[in-house]
Amino acid sequence: MHEWDFAATLADMDFLLLGLWNTMRVFALALLFGIPLGLCIALGRMSRIPVLSQVSSLVIEFFRTTPPLVQLFWFFFALPILISVQMTPFVASVITFSIQSSAFFAEIFRGGINSIDKGQWEAAKAIGMSRRDSLRRIILPQAVKRMIPAFAERSIELLKTTTLISTVSYADLMFQANELASKTFRPLEVYTVVAVMYFFLILVFSQLTILLEYRLAKSGEGTLR
């Protein structure tokens, strides 16, 4: 029977916390780029110009149907050769997850915008607003509120997906765990601690989502799923 011994793992906790910090960095940057990009793609998809909307749908479908790990490998191993630039694991991860999540965010934006009553568009038009003005001032502020739970859910998915960057040797929490496990010969303790760390990290986010949804429900807004 195995004797549990967490001493070696806990002694190197700062090593794991560095990994956690790196995970959060990629996560934050992917959100920062992914959300605006998602809005652009969503607007592209809803555009009246056929070419633009077809290209946008293709981008959305492509990045939603291909596995994130394949995309990551492509951006890390294939793209640098194709355009002959140096690609660090960090840059490749941020690019991959920004684009990958933007495809999902685009669908949330589109759902949110479509869920706003047509009358709102007409009202904006009636007081002389252009399509762009009405989108910015009337439609989006209402739509975003409905989209928040879906956004939060997607962000949690993104956080879980960031574990993949360990496969291109970026020092995220998962990668640090692999290193530590082979250094200490204590895979059981290391991976258990890391699993618990991920669990609580994601649990905090998902509890916040539930709280947010509860508050939105109370303020009488229908939420989008």
Partner 1 sequence: MQHNWNFASVFAYWDVLLIGLWGTVYIFAITCVLGLGFGLVVGMMRYSKAWWISYPARVFVEVFRNTPVLVQIIWFFFALPVVTGVEVSAFTAAALGITLNTIAFSAEVFRGGIQSIEREQWEAGKAIGMNYAQTMRRIILYQALKRMLPPLTSRGIEVFKMSTLASVVAYSETLHQAKLIASYEFNPIEAYTVVAIMFFLVLLPLVQLTYVLERRFGKSD
What is the binding site for partner 1 (CB under 8 A)? 2, 61-62, 64-71, 73-74, 77-78, 81-82, 84, 159-161, 163-164, 166-167, 174, 177-178, 181, 187-188, 191-192, 194-195, 198-199, 202-203, 206
Q: Choose between 138 and 177: whose C-beta lies nearer to partner 1.
A: 177
Note whether 194 and 186 are within 8 A (CB). no
| CB of 67 vs partner 1, minimal distance in Å | 4
Nearest alpha-carbon partner for 154 in 76, 209, 115: 209
| CB of 17 vs partner 1, minimal distance in Å | 16
| CB of 160 vs partner 1, minimal distance in Å | 4
The 3-state secondary structure of 34-67 reads HHHHHHHHHHHHHCCCHHHHHHHHHHHHHHHHCC
Find the helix or strand (DSSP H, E) in which 95 lies: helix 89-115
Note whether 173 and 198 are within 8 A (CB). yes
What token pair was written down for 158? 């993104």
Q: Choose between 40 and 78: whose C-beta lies nearer to partner 1.
A: 78
| CB of 137 vs partner 1, minimal distance in Å | 30
Question: What is the phi-psi region of residue 220: left when phi exceeds 0, alpha when psi lies from -120 to 50, beta otherwise?
Answer: left
Q: How far is CA 67 from CA 70, 71, 167, in A?
A: 5, 7, 14
Q: Choose between 35 and 164: whose C-beta lies nearer to partner 1.
A: 164
| CB of 127 vs partner 1, minimal distance in Å | 32
Q: Choose between 134 and 166: whose C-beta lies nearer to partner 1.
A: 166
Q: Choose between 49 and 81: whose C-beta lies nearer to partner 1.
A: 81
